[in-house]
Amino acid sequence: MPENFENLIQEITNSLKANEDVSIYKKNRQLSSFVTLLTHLNSLPHAQVPQPDLMRVKNQILDRITLPQTEQKPKWFSLAGSLPHMLRVGSGIMGGLLIVISLTLGAAVAALNSVPGQTIYPLKKIAESIQLKLTPDADKTNLQFKFANNRVDELQQVIQQQQDGQISAKQAQKIVADTVSDLQTSTRAAAKSTASQPKAAVVTKLADLSSKLRIASIHSEGEVKVELEKALQNTRVSKEEAIKNIQQAGIKVEGQPVEIDDAVSASGKLTGASDTTVSIGSAKFLITKDTTYINTTAKDLQIGQLVDISGEIKDNKSYANRITLIIDPKVKGAETTKTDNSETNPQTDTPIAP
Amino acid sequence: MTEAELKNYLQKAQLGSPDAFGFIYDHFAEKIYRFVYFRVGHKEIAEDILSDTFTKAWLKINQINAADALSGWLYQIAKNNIIDYYRLKKELVPLEEVEEILEDEASPVDATNLNLQQAKILQVLEQLSEDQQQVIKYRFFEDLTSEEIAYVMGKTEGAIRVLQHRAILRLKELLKKK
């Protein structure tokens, strides 16, 4: 065996890759069989791949990388060495634009509307992950809550799919378990953020998520119910951590929602409204003759209105005791004043004030 | 594209020229797309990962100081993006398992058009160590250079040569027995 055999193998391989004549190596007895083996390896038939739309991808990349240039053009050329740092400065804007561009192109459109279990769903998570990385620290908590609410909405869709027979109980359990794990990541991060940014609103938002999960768990069964109970427990732990952090910072958590065993509440946009039920995402409440309405009436309730619902759980069902209209999107600038809602939660979509 | 041209485009890209970066993309996009596609087995997802790979490359372009390292570096970013994709897809799968999954989605070899000897090679290939198999697959199934493989596998180019050498010796030995 030649001493520099390792280099020879490399040399022959390189020659084969460059379509050069390798017959000279074959004349060497010791090398001949290796040349044959390498030739067989080199001529393995390659599988065809679906033709990519490279031009579309190129335009997408160029759009992404040239967008901040219009805002920071003079600095780019003089400080090219610190380009990555400069991009981080404008990261909030760029992150938003990046997601918007992604939204308008190809698979990303489907991804952002996808639900767990779909092939394209991981792209939604990638988009969220990028958005989170590019968002300034001060705004990260709001984003974590937005993602947590996305997860709760997705849970509702998965439960609905299972009830409609589109997916099996086993599939639903697996998807719900994954989504619950993601939800936990967001709520933990939000609770953790209170150590450096003690904001009391974090507690109310976590309480709101707890309520939604609690009601969703009432309307589910089997393993899915177990997973939702787990999520509920985790969210409560995060809430306790947030309260502890805020109190350690010397801030009193006033109007803190007290979780009474039978009391539930939810805040947000109405996703369902009928004569017998109202829903905010996964939180579905039954309407009774005792339900009271503040700033609205039973027949005026419509999907899209921002409401507070407080209620109770009886016989494994959730009932709406009081429905308070906060904002009706159809009436421009119509933000109603809460009357007697000292214990109700703030609207879900409201950013947390610094 | 010649080495000098590539060097020139890299320098311009590092000074902030998206057009120069566009030429770099044109040169490498198809290779990187193939690499990603075999790992994810889905055209649209591979295109999105390709897009993210070059966007990240642009943001970190000043980390590269030699044009001949560009290709391997791009493969490395692509590989990390693929791992991120799998992490998000299956958050609880350990990293080692993720790396195994990378090899399973789509085969780079057209198994229906093999000659007898090539079929035998594929059969005995599985008896090689994981690293040796990887090197053979990257080098001959996907035409990566030793330097590119070094970036993807996180080893030195010398280590890749040694692995390749040992893999070929072992393959020959196994084929002889068969």
Residue of A nearest to B25 (CA): A58
Q: Give the predicted TM-score (pTM) of the model.
A: 0.47
DSSP letter, residue B109: B
- Averaged pLDDT, A218-234: 78
HSE of A323, CA atoms in CB hemisphere, 13 A: 30
Instruction: Answer whether residue A76 is part of any domain.
Output: yes
Tell me what percent of the residues of chain B surpass a pLDDT of 90: 56
Q: How far is A78 from chain B (nearest CA, A)?
A: 9
Q: Are residues A34 and A77 in the same domain?
A: no
CB atoms within 10 A of CB A261: 7
Contact list, A178 vs chain B (CB under 8 Å): 91
Q: Are residues A28 and A67 in the same domain?
A: no
Q: Are residues A19 and A80 in the same domain?
A: no
Give the residue from A135, A168, A197 where a domain finishes. Answer: A135
Report the pLDDT value the prediction gives residue A97, as an integer from 0 to 100: 62
- What pLDDT, in 10s, does the model give residues A320-337? 888 988 877 665 444 444
Say which of B29, B171, B175 has its CB closest to residue A54: B29
Confidence of residue A349 (pLDDT cuts 50, 70, 90): very low
Contact list, A3 vs chain B (CB under 8 Å): none
Nearest to B48 by CA among A64, A107, A55: A107
Lowest mean pLDDT among A200-214, B35-49, B152-166: A200-214
Q: Are residues A58 and A130 in the same domain?
A: yes
User: Angle at which helices A5-17 and B157-177 pack, to 10 degrees?
Assistant: 90
Tell me what percent of the residues of chain A surpass a pLDDT of 70: 74
Report the pLDDT value the prediction gives residue B25, as an integer from 0 to 100: 96
Residues 271-300 of chain A with CB under 8 A from chain B are none
Q: Identify the domain containing residue A30 by its residue range.
A: 5-42
Query: A74 and chain B: CB distance < 8 Å anywhere?
Result: no
Q: Is B140 in Cβ contact with A106 (below 8 Å)?
A: no
Say which of A13, A47, A57 has its CB closest to residue B139: A13
Say which of A33, A40, A80 has its CB closest to residue B16: A80
The set of residues, in sequence order, having a beta carbon less than 8 Å from that of B173 and lying 6+ positions away, is none
The per-residue pLDDT of chain B, averaged, comes to: 87
Nearest to A179 by CA among A242, A224, A220, A141: A224
Report the pLDDT value the prediction gives residue A98, as an integer from 0 to 100: 60
Give the residue from A135, A155, A183 where a domain finishes. Answer: A135
Instruction: Answer whether residue A120 is part of any domain.
Output: yes
The order of strands in the sheet holding A283-294 is A263-269, A306-314, A317-327, A283-294, A277-280, A272-273
CB atoms within 10 A of CB A290: 9
Confidence of residue B96 (pLDDT cuts 50, 70, 90): low
Q: Are residues A114 and A87 in the same domain?
A: yes
CA dihedral A61, A62, A65, A66 (to 10 degrees): -160
Instruction: Answer whether residue A14 is part of any domain.
Output: yes
Residue A258 phi, psi dihedral angles, 5° rounding? -95, 130
Confidence of residue A282 (pLDDT cuts 50, 70, 90): low
Confidence of residue A338 (pLDDT cuts 50, 70, 90): very low
Tell me what percent of the residues of chain B surpass a pLDDT of 70: 90
Report the pLDDT value the prediction gives residue A335, as an integer from 0 to 100: 44
Q: Are residues A109 and A63 in the same domain?
A: yes
Distance in Å from the first CA to the final CA of chain A: 73
Report the pLDDT value the prediction gives residue A27, as an integer from 0 to 100: 83
Tokens of B50: 């390709």
Instruction: Give the SS3 label for residue A330.
Output: coil
Lowest mean pLDDT among A63-67, A145-149, A195-199: A195-199
Q: Are residues A59 and A124 in the same domain?
A: yes
Domain count, chain A: 2
Q: Are residues A21 and A63 in the same domain?
A: no
Report the pLDDT value the prediction gives residue A72, as an integer from 0 to 100: 38
Query: A260 and chain B: CB distance < 8 Å anywhere?
Result: no
Q: Domains of chain B by range and CATH?
A: 1-106 (1.10.1740.10), 110-178 (1.10.10.10)
- What pLDDT, in 10s, does the model give residues A54-82? 999 999 898 888 764 433 333 333 444 44
Q: Are residues A67 and A131 in the same domain?
A: yes
Instruction: Answer whether residue A256 is part of any domain.
Output: no
Instruction: Answer whether residue A129 is part of any domain.
Output: yes
Report the pLDDT value the prediction gives residue A81, as an integer from 0 to 100: 45
Q: Is A107 in Cβ contact with B114 (below 8 Å)?
A: no
Query: A60 and chain B: CB distance < 8 Å anywhere?
Result: yes
Q: Are residues A72 and A121 in the same domain?
A: yes
Residues 6-65 of chain B with CB under 8 A from chain A are 14-16, 18, 21-22, 25-26, 29-30, 33-34, 37-38, 42-48, 50-52, 54-55, 58-62
Confidence of residue A221 (pLDDT cuts 50, 70, 90): confident
Residue reference for tokens 């390749």: B164
Query: A178 and chain B: CB distance < 8 Å anywhere?
Result: yes
Report the pLDDT value the prediction gives residue A218, as an integer from 0 to 100: 73
Instruction: Answer whether residue A338 is part of any domain.
Output: no
Q: Is B92 in Cβ contact with A181 (below 8 Å)?
A: yes
